[in-house]
Amino acid sequence: MEKDVLFEITKEHLETGMRGYPVGYCTTSSVDEKKGLFYVGKPVSEMSHFDPIEVIYLLFHKKLGDKKEVDSFKEELIVRSKCSDEFVDHVTKLPRKGHPMSLFASALQVLGMVEKVGDYREDCLNIIAKLPFVAATVINYHANAGPVKENQPEMGYMENFTHMLNLPISHKDLLCEVLRKFNILHYDHGGGNLSVFVGKAVASGLQHMYGALSAAMNGLAGARHGKANQDCLAFVQEIQTELGDDPRESEIEKFLKNKLEHHDLIFGFGHAVLRVEDPRATIFYDFAQKHFSSHPLVKIALILRKVGTKILQENPKIHDPYPNVDAISGSVLSAAGFTYPEYFTILFGLARCVGIAIQIVYERLEAREGKGTPIIRPRYIFKPR
C-alpha cells in the first residue's frame, strides 16, 4: 500500500528544477538508475532491432501487438499520414534564420492551425503518422534542398523519412538502420524530462495537441536537453581538430584534464537518473564498433568512452561518470552519412513527439478516472531581495 506522503518538501528542494519531485504518473516509460530505460515495463535495450511501428504500438496500446495487430495499426497510420498542400505552403514561407528547431516547432503549430481535429486521441495518432513528413519538409526547406519527395509511408516509418530527405547522403541504407535505432531509442524517457513536462503543462490548460507539442519542442531545443548530441559531436570534432584523426588515449586524457582544470564541460557524460552507462549509448557503441570502427569521429568517441569515465570517476562529487546516449549518437549519425548536426535535434524531436503525444492523451483523457489532470499551477514563495 502506498503511503499518503510520497515526498517531503524542504527548502533544499526549492529552485532545483523540481528535480525528483513526484507530481503524477507515467504510463508509457520509466528510467531505472541501474537498468536504464523501459517502455511499458520492457527494457528498450531489447527493442533496438524492432520495427518502429511495433514500438509505437506498444507505447500507444500498452502491450506488444501480434503481427495482425501491428499490421492493422500500420495501415491506420498510413491513412492518416498525408499532410495538406496548405500546410506545406505555409511552412515553406517561414524564415530560415536561426536554429532549425524553431522552424520545426513552428511547423507543428501550423499543422495544428490547418489540420487539427480537436480530439486529443485522434490528433495524437494523426501527428504520429505525419511526423516523418513534417520533419523531412522542415529539413529540406531549411537546407534549401527542394520540395519533399513523394510521401510513401508504406515503405516503413523511418524508411519513408530517409527517402524524403533531399540532402546528399552517401550511405542511405545504413543510415536508415541508424535512424530506426535512433528513433526507437528516443520515443520516451519517463514523465518528467523538460520537453514532455512542458508539453503536458501546456496541454493542461486545454491547448490542443499541436500547440502543446510545439511548446515541448521549444523546450527540447535547448543545449541542456535535445541539443546535447549536437554539442557532443562538436566536442568530439574539437578533439579531432586539436589532436588529429588518430589520437592516443594519453593525448585525449591530457586534453580532458586540461578542460577540467579550466572548469570547462566534458560533454556526453552524466545523467539525471542513471548511475551506469546509458544502455542506449551501449547499443550505439556496439553498432559503431561493428560498422564504423575506422571512422575518425567514432574512434575518438570510443576512446572518450573509456578515458572520460576513468577521469570522472576520480572526482567523488560526480555521481554518474558514465556516457549518455548523446556521447555517441552524433558520431554514429555522421559516420552513417548524416553530416548535418544542425538537424540532430529535429531527429530527436521526430522521435520524442511520439511519447509526449501519448502521455498527453493519458493526462487529458484517462488520468483521474477520465477527468484528466488539473491545470499545472505550482506554488512559488515570495522572496524579498
Catalytic residues: 225, 271, 326
Q: What are phi and psi of 31, to 5 degrees?
A: -125, 120
Give which of 320, 314, 305, 326 is closest to 257, Cα–Cα. 314
What DSSP line would sit under 262-306, residue for residue? TT---TTB--SS-SS--HHHHHHHHHHHHH-TTSHHHHHHHHHHH
What is the grid cell recorded at 342? 544542425
Give which of 321, 307, 328 is closest to 258, Cα–Cα. 307
Three-state SS letters, 122-150: HHHHHHHHHHHHHHHHHHHHHCCCCCCCC
Return d(Cα 153, Cα 78) in angstroms, integer.
6
Return d(Cα 361, Cα 203) in angstroms, integer.
9
Return d(Cα 81, Cα 42) in angstroms, integer.
28
Return d(Cα 151, Cα 136) in angstroms, integer.
10
Return d(Cα 183, Cα 346) in angstroms, integer.
11
Return d(Cα 384, Cα 280) in angstroms, integer.
45
The residue type of 301 is A
The DSSP output letter for 323 is B
Task: Give 41-47's long-range contacts (Cβ < 8 A, gap of 24+).
Answer: 43/279, 44/184, 44/185, 44/279, 44/280, 45/279, 45/280, 45/282, 45/283, 47/184
Return d(Cα 299, Cα 236) in angstroms, integer.
10
Return d(Cα 353, Cα 339) in angstroms, integer.
23
Q: How does strand 42-43 pair with strand 36-39?
A: antiparallel
